[in-house]
Structure 1
Amino acid sequence: MELRVLNYFLVVAREENITRAASILHITQPTLSRQLLQLEDELGVKLYQRSKHRIILTEEGNLLRRRAQEILQLTEKTKSELVQADENVVGEISIGCGELLSMEQIGNLIQGFKKLYPLVTFHIISGMNDFIKEQIEQGLMDFGLLIQPVEIEKYQFIRMKQQERWGILVKETDPLAQKSRVTPQDLFGRDLIVTDSHPIQNELASWFNQNDAELKIVSTYTLLNNAAVLVNSGVGLVLCIELHVRYPNLKFIPFEPDLTLHSVLAWKANQVYSEATRAFIEFVKNA
């Protein structure tokens, strides 16, 4: 498969129309159709079907679209990593991060690193543990800020100093807002909004000393900002990590007994990295 043809396919998939895609790509419609037919022959599958007004991807076509996006993204990342500027360390470093207080330590690391290597650019991508690990495995992210529990046998890592303290986010008008701490008994029978991460759900169930199936979970979330909207809408209480963020009309109350988890900055072991990424690895190890 040629990268050029994969790009052709992605434009067709996006536009859902071969004529329009050919115009965007500045090639003739017969040429584009022929390239797509050759791609189908090479792969031995049908990638799309023609309806009256648009192109409809088959199941195989949708799979190729996802993989083609990953391939082209990885290609661009590789190109940028190969760019060198004399003796200066240049390049791009991507870090996947959850919504954690440890992000403050990441910010301090980046600030210190930039003083030594000002030509390096950072990309911060928000996401949950599973998404970040998948991106690292595919080579689309260099580092991941992961909250434990997480399997890190495949990774090298440094442990973050900041502990992540759990509690609830609740309306200020809720009777629970008058408490300085909340216990499992305070939350039994309440509508709960919990993280989408199954390992962390298990940690929370352990804190409750209760099977999570017995808790009244009404929704899950990945981003706390969205979960806070649900609290304000009266959907339920959010079980979450304490962040240095103020949400209007809401209050964070820590758990009693305490539930604190650690996080790690991890990167794939036995991997060939760009000069910029290698420099950042050494920097964070020493820092």
Structure 2
Amino acid sequence: MVARGENITKAAKLLHITQPTLSRQLMQLEEELGARLFNRSNHRIILTEDGMLLKRRAQELISLADKTKREFIREENQLAGEISIGCGELSSVSCLSSLIASFREAYPQVRYELFSGNADNVKDRMERGLLDIGLFSEPAEISKYEFIRMPVKETWGILVRGDSPLAAKEAVRPEDLAEVPLLTAKRELVQNELVTGSEIIRSGWKSL
């Protein structure tokens, strides 16, 4: 509440405790963690970098606790609960939505939570128990997971100005990008695929 309102007095009122009590609890928390969580001024109190980290972790813990409770709220002989799915902005999402719709007809008590992110974000949340299923595009290290490949093939593309010579091409090949400055995905596996462009062509990725 303090992080949200950036004001101890308002947060104390919302929490129905006194302002000195809340201030003391915040200082005790900082002492326990050995870190400064807030930058304080006369009118505002804002999170430090350590404070933002703690807030993110606290939100994840609360989310996981809520998810666990919902999984146990079900009627006898009925499949219920929540399935948390992480995915990127992929063409395969249309296939995923069709699967969810079919599953929902059979099991209407099941709820779904969607998280949007790249493969690294999705895998990280799966490792921490926050997601049940991940949908992401290759290249990705998936040997440790049980997986199936979606029937939709993703196509890599580039965005350029309308007057760019690349805009006139029917397909763009890796060699066309050799001297072009690019803003690319942060993921190292994706960057390696771009660097080894000849391998992409041989394996059937005809265009980027």
TM class by shorter chain equals 0.7 to 0.9
SS of residue paired to 2:180: coil
* Partner in structure 2 of residue 53 of structure 1: 43
* Partner in structure 1 of residue 6 of structure 2: 16
Distance in 2 separating the partners of 1:33 and 1:58: 16
The two structures, once aligned, show a CA RMSD in angstroms of 2.7
Counterpart pick for 2:105 among 95, 115, 132: 115
The percent identity for this pair of structures is 51
Matched, 1:181 2:176: no
SS of residue paired to 1:154: coil
After TM superposition, the score normalised by the length of structure 1 is 0.63
Distance in 2 separating the partners of 1:165 and 1:63: 36
* Partner in structure 1 of residue 190 of structure 2: 200
CA spacing shift, 1:115–1:138, aligned 2, 3 Å: same
1:124 CA displacement: 2.1
Matched, 1:77 2:23: no
1:125 CA displacement: 1.9
* Partner in structure 2 of residue 97 of structure 1: 87
After TM superposition, the score normalised by the length of structure 2 is 0.83
1:131 CA displacement: 0.8
Distance in 1 separating the partners of 2:143 and 2:171: 36
Distance in 2 separating the partners of 1:45 and 1:191: 41
Choose 31-40 or 197-206, whichever is displaced more: 31-40
Greater relative CO (CA pairs within 8 A, separation 6+): 1
Counterpart pick for 1:30 among 9, 20, 23: 20
Alignment of 1:1-287 (within 5 A): 11-207=1-197, 258-259=204-205
- List runs of 5+ in structure 2 lacking aligned partners: none
Deviations 1:43-82 (A, max 9, x none): 4544335322222444443332221121112111112112
1:200 CA displacement: 0.8
Partners of 2:174 and 2:194 within 8 A in 1: no
Deviations 1:138-161 (A, max 9, x none): 222111102222222332212222
Choose 73-82 or 162-171, whichever is displaced more: 162-171
Choose 15-24 or 192-201, whichever is displaced more: 192-201
1:96 CA displacement: 0.8
CA spacing shift, 1:196–1:46, aligned 2, 3 Å: closer
- List runs of 5+ in structure 1 lacking aligned partners: 1-10, 210-254, 261-287
Deviations 1:11-30 (A, max 9, x none): 11222221011122222213
CA spacing shift, 1:58–1:98, aligned 2, 3 Å: closer
Partners of 2:175 and 2:197 within 8 A in 1: no
1:118 CA displacement: 1.3
Q: Counterpart amino acid of 2:205?
A: L
Structure with bigger strand share is: 1
Q: Which stretches of structure 1, 4 residues or more, deviate above 6 A after TM superposition? A: none
Partners of 1:207 and 1:259 within 8 A in 2: no
Q: Counterpart amino acid of 2:20?
A: P
1:38 CA displacement: 3.7
SS of residue paired to 2:129: coil
Deviations 1:75-123 (A, max 9, x none): 1111211211232222221111112222222122212211210121222
Distance in 2 separating the partners of 1:200 and 1:82: 39
